[in-house]
Structures are given as structure tokens and as C-alpha cells.
Homo-oligomer: A and B are copies of this chain.
């Protein structure tokens, strides 16, 4: 009878789908939706990894990026770093298995966080060219370098090792990746060139050498020899989790008592808070975490949510810093005025984050068009999906006219300016796997606005002092020219001596001039008070 049952027939088609197959068919979700963007994505994933690696090693980054054009739509991308290298056994998984990495399970300010990026680049290379990705990695001057040629077995999401052997590599330690891919190279706002330039701006401690497809060698020197403060890993904050996560944590913990679980697996729970929570939930502090019933966990969860617990630690974040952000900008952008600000850390859904902002004004920048918005997350430039990004919303929501920029309501302002926003967080809430836009959390939008308003006030003062004062001076000196002629005419009319009238007119003008200077000085005082 079973043979005639539809469900039995249908059951034969049910199958597991590997994450590699899924993203092969849905590669646009990863940002690989056209050849131009694909080139930028591959460079970005490799450079992000390179910078994260050097940060782990605590060395000043020296990153080498090369694009070799094979024909109109075929490129080789090479990215090399001086990071710690990768041990031989893990090279295949790191580059040729999606959802594998060290960053997903930790809350720490890293560029990467999903364990998808670089293997997605390998997947795209393999899909469009069928070629193997070539890796060299070396972990110590006295250890051999290892060379790998890798594919992804998309059906099982496992690496396929085509070749692996030792090689000579004239380097103490580091990693080199070489991928061939279908791609297109173009200049402009969403190009590889722009990505690398912006990366240099927000990583002023990095030296980047970039060989363009035209074989031009562009060197971005470092502007500081100090490494950024090292970001620290933190535990989740008890107010940032959901009940399902609590259930899983209780099952997985290595802590043997409820009290030690609460103190070890969360941030900001000490012995007192821990025993208060247990009392309130009518649970023993010595209860075994994995033995709790679901009904008990529900009560525990509610008690935790209703307990006052201080905000998560924020010294885990590593901002660029106002001074270095300004240095980085000045190196790459021609403008008359720069201002930067770093906000104190804040929290969204239990996650610490902080916002930095900057404005560059005047100089070569175009006066007539919309300002240029540069968006960054954990020191990575975001070049796509500007319209969908919370940073764009934050910058558009501000009333910019009082700060000296033009604006039609609800839009980005206009004027000769570049506006920079950087979010640093232990977990950046991206709106898609392509990691190009930030989700619209209220707490984040608020901080973006506060940071930009701070920059805006300094910009307004600058415009008053320099731009407006300059215009006023020009007007006064124009009037000065006409004083003799005016005095002569008035003399004719009144019979007073022309020289006396001229002198009086000059006095009036000078009085106004000193008022103008005073007012500019006042602005200066206000500014320094801020």
C-alpha cells in the first residue's frame, strides 16, 4: 500500500542542502552579483583578513595587493600580509569551507565576524573560472612555508586539496592568497582603488602597496608607528540575550554551578548579583546548569531581565581616535578644514559600540553637489548599499543648514564637504551577508547624530570665522576703494572738506572691522569651551 501514498513518493526528494550550494546559487546575497562588485568584494575579504591577522600578531601591517588583468573580464587577485600565518592543518578549512572561523563565537571588534567572507571569494573564483585558489602561509622564520591549491566541495561544504607541499618563501611569517576570477575593473566611488584608499584612511598604522591592473605601483605609507589599542573579547551582556540563547548556554556551559555560570558566562554579573538572581528565581546557586527544567529557565530569564545590571564594559573597543583619523584624512583628501570627534561608547541590545565622525570642508571639494559620505565599520570601508544603511539615515536626519551646508529636507546635505562616520563594535549589525550596510538601531542612529552634530558645530564656527569673515572683509575692502569718491561727492554737497569726510568714513569702517574681529574671537572662545 505504501507505494501509492503521495508522502512516501515525495519523501524521496528530501535532501540536505550544503551552505556552499546555497550560496553558489544565491551568490548575490554575498555581494557577488556582478563582475565589478565581485572584484571589489574579493579584494575586500582578503585585505580585511590580512589586517585582522596583523592585529592578532600585534605587528604593523604591511599589505601587498596586486590585480593582474588576463583579459577584459578575467583577473588574478593577489593579497599578501605579514600576519601570524596559519598552521598547515587549518589552511584548507579557513579558505575552502564556508562558516568556519575564529571570530563568530567571540564578541570582539574584528573586521571579519561571520566565517564566510574569504571562502565566499574562493567559491566565486571556482564558480566563474574553475581554477584553484593558491595559498602560501608561514608561521615562523624557522618553520617551512606551506603551499596549497584548494577547491570547495560544494556538495559537502568541505575543502578539496589539489596540491600541497613546502615552498621557499622569503618572509618571516604571513599569508598570501591568489585567486583567479571573472571580474571587471573600473575606477570611481565603488572601485578597488577607492576601497584601498579609504582603508588607508581608517588604518593609519598600515602600509599598503597596491599594484593596479595598469601595473601602476601606488604606495600608501603609514602615518603612525603606534599600533591601535588591542580590542578585547567580552562575554555577552545578560540584558542582550533571548530565552533561547539562555537555554543553549545553560546546556553548553563548562561551569558546574548556576552561580559560576552566571558569573563566568556573562559580563557584569558578580557574586552578589548572581546570588540575588538565584534567590529571586528560587533556584540554588549550586544547581547544575544543564539540569534546569524549562519552566525554571523561564523564571530565571525573567528575573535576569528585571535585575538591574550595569552596562557592558566598553574598554573592549578600539577607536581610531580623533587625531589619527584627521591625519589619515589629510593624507588622502585635499580640503581646507578638518574636524573629527570620537563619541564615548554606548550599547545596543547588550553590545558595546562607539561612533567616530569627521568632516573635511573646502579646498578641492565640489561646492554644488551632495556631500560625499564615507561609511566605515570596524575600520572597513562600506562602498555599496548606501541607501539602505543606518549611517545614511543618521546623516540625513540632521538639519545641516545651521552648520553651513545646504540641504533639502530628509536628504544628505550639499556643499564642499566629505562626511565620515565610523562604527566600532564587538558585533556590527549588518543588513546582509555582504556586510555593506548597518541596521537601523535607534541607539546607533542617536550616536551617529550626536557625533555629526559635534563636527557640525565646529564646521559652523569655521565657516563663520573664515568663510563668512573673508566675505565680509572683501565687502569692506571694496567699500574702502570708494571712500575717496564718496568723500568728494559728500564734500560737494555739504561744503565740508573732503579729507575730513574721508577720515570719518574710515573711522566708521575700522570700528566695524574691529567688531568683526571681536565676533570671530568670540566664536573661537566658544569653540574651545566645547
Closest B residue to A430 using CB positions: B26
Q: Is A28 in contact with chain B by the CB < 8 A criterion?
A: yes
Closest B residue to A104 using CB positions: B17
Stretch at the interface among A122-130, A217-225, A353-361: A122-130
Q: Is the CB of A28 within 8 A of B140?
A: no
Q: Is A501 in contact with chain B by the CB < 8 A criterion?
A: no
Q: Is A475 in contact with chain B by the CB < 8 A criterion?
A: no
Q: Is the CB of A7 within 8 A of B139?
A: yes
- A227 proximity list for chain B (CB < 8 A): none
In the complex, which of the residues B33, B86, B173, B248 contacts A155, with contact meaning CB atoms closer than 8 Å? B248
- A28 proximity list for chain B (CB < 8 A): 429, 431, 439
Q: Is A298 in contact with chain B by the CB < 8 A criterion?
A: yes
Closest B residue to A28 using CB positions: B439
Q: Is the CB of A56 within 8 A of B17?
A: no
Q: Is A101 in contact with chain B by the CB < 8 A criterion?
A: yes
In the complex, which of the residues B14, B127, B243, B246 contacts A244, with contact meaning CB atoms closer than 8 Å? B127
- A477 proximity list for chain B (CB < 8 A): none
* A15–B100 CA distance with the chains assembled, in angstroms: 6
In the complex, which of the residues B6, B25, B126, B243 contacts A56, with contact meaning CB atoms closer than 8 Å? B6
Smallest CB separation, A161 vs chain B (Å): 15
Q: Is A57 in contact with chain B by the CB < 8 A criterion?
A: yes
Closest B residue to A15 using CB positions: B105
In the complex, which of the residues B8, B29, B84, B242 contacts A433, with contact meaning CB atoms closer than 8 Å? B29
Q: Is A13 in contact with chain B by the CB < 8 A criterion?
A: yes
In the complex, which of the residues B26, B102, B128, B173 contacts A13, with contact meaning CB atoms closer than 8 Å? B102
Closest B residue to A113 using CB positions: B25
Q: Is A294 in contact with chain B by the CB < 8 A criterion?
A: yes
Smallest CB separation, A119 vs chain B (Å): 11
The answer to whether residues A7 and B94 also contact, given A22-B114, A24-B244 and a CB cut-off of 8 A, is: no
The answer to whether residues A17 and B128 also contact, given A5-B139, A22-B99 and a CB cut-off of 8 A, is: no
In the complex, which of the residues B99, B130, B242, B245 contacts A247, with contact meaning CB atoms closer than 8 Å? B130
Closest B residue to A162 using CB positions: B294
Known: A29-B433, A130-B294, A130-B297. 4 other contacts (CB 8 A): A13-B105, A15-B104, A19-B99, A126-B247
22 of the cross-chain contacts (CB-CB < 8 Å) are: A1-B140, A1-B142, A6-B56, A10-B84, A10-B102, A11-B86, A11-B87, A11-B90, A14-B90, A14-B93, A14-B100, A14-B102, A15-B102, A16-B100, A17-B105, A17-B114, A18-B99, A22-B104, A24-B245, A29-B431, A127-B243, A130-B298
Contact residues of A with B, CB < 8 Å? 1, 5-8, 10-11, 13-19, 21-22, 24-26, 28-29, 33, 56-57, 84-87, 89-90, 93-94, 97, 99-102, 104-106, 114-115, 126-130, 139-140, 142-143, 154-155, 173, 242-248, 252, 294, 297-298, 301, 388, 427, 429, 431-433, 439
Q: List the 9 shortest-distance A-B pairs measured between CB atoms, nearest first.
A: A127-B244, A6-B84, A7-B139, A13-B102, A17-B99, A130-B243, A7-B84, A17-B104, A11-B87
